[in-house]
Chains A and B, each alone.
Chain A
Amino acid sequence: CVVLFFTSDRVIDVGSEWRTFSNEKALKDPSRVGDAQNPLLNGGDLTTMISKGTGAASFDEFGNSKYQNRRTMSSSDRAMLNAFKEISTMADRINLPRNIIDRTNNLFKQVYEQKSLKGRANDAIASACLYIACRQEGVPRTFKEICAVSRISKKEIGRCFKLILKALETSVDLITTGDFMSRFCSNLGLPKQVQMAATFIARKAVELDLVPGRSPISVAAAAIYMASQASAEKKTQKEIGDIAGVADVTIRQSYRLIYPRAAELFPPDFKFDTPVDKLPQL
């Protein structure tokens, strides 16, 4: 449809040229021209392209398709589109919701347009944006988790993370032990009671400053270990270390720090399967 503007008293009806009903075959919607996605992120092109034919006539005698021309339609944003695809793949591997993906895309676009991190690998910037987006949404993922779905090393993601924060002049909230509890506990298959106990233990341990200088992930892992050992569902340090991405010696170290005051760390209404004095001492 072409929209023409006349400086007259005629009013142009800019509605659709034909009527479409929602019940009809949704495959063909004649009022749609051009792709729907993301005009905001891609700089708004309404370009279309010729697709490869499906009939028998579109292939020549050797089996090659007659129309092979698939020239890139948006060369300026090709890198960005590639990055979005990569972000989508990464997010899909860890089942991240749409809002985080959108936030990541927005961050990437801002960083890309600023061009201050131009020399860095786009995948590294994409991974770092994903990390920041998860943090900003209040559901942080550890660097190791992002590493697991990306081809970039943790060191490089960490570097890009710091650079992006400087470039965009934002800051992120500090991670707390509680952010990871629900994810780690459900991955381990621990019941809700144990999860709540572990969250309480970790929070109390940080409040009492029993674990100065330890990463919140290590403290969380040690708390989960303590809570699970006190309940019916006992998990080994190795299993917890596997899920949390922490070495089991690290869990052992943090556990040694919280063990002396284990009795105060448990929530008051916790049902002990193994009493506090029978907790393993490593």
Chain B
Amino acid sequence: MEGGSASGSASTLSNNENVLVSCEDSSSPAENELELGLTLSLGGERRVSYADDSSSSSSLSSRASVTAGIKRTADSMAATSGQVVGWPPIRSYRMNSMVNQAKTLAMEDPIKNRTDATKMRMFVKVTMDGIPIGRKVDLNAHSCYESLSNALEEMFLKPKTDGHLEAGLKILPDGSSGLVLTYEDKEGDWMLVGDVPWGMFIGSVKRLRIMKTSEATGTAQMIL
């Protein structure tokens, strides 16, 4: 990670929990390289080395050995529980407001009478293999598997320009589409969607995943 010799001392901070990175001064000759350590406010993850696909100028070619230090893969970003400070740049007032709003929606209000029409929303995360960005679906907006399946198809299987869905792709586990809908229940087990009555499903589902049939077969076998 450290590139070449330098006139300054090697840079480390004494309380070094964070990752250090060298930044190369690209406009000075090698002997006068500055070696700097960089402390970032990111949540303590190790840096992934800089991918060499950059189209930057040739003076930076020697940076192949130097990590920019800030780049991460999408996966490691998603896996981090701690968020980057101040990112995305939303005013903290607004963040607090949104968090409070979300809490209120999730709480049942015993004083106000809520009719069926204004049931609590129940958002669960849905991911589909091969698509990096997860979505969320409100399970209380549906009353049966058919309806849920249609909604997910709409969400994930992008309609062609003429407005029709790709023909024949259904997510219910009838095996014909190459896709299978699974869910993780409260006990942490992965189950096939559709096996139990809807009400029981709603009561135990934590999140959903659309898998390719080939992968599901193995899991299904394990479950069974």
Task: Check if A and B associate.
Answer: no
A residues with CB within 8 A of B: none
B residues with CB within 8 A of A: none
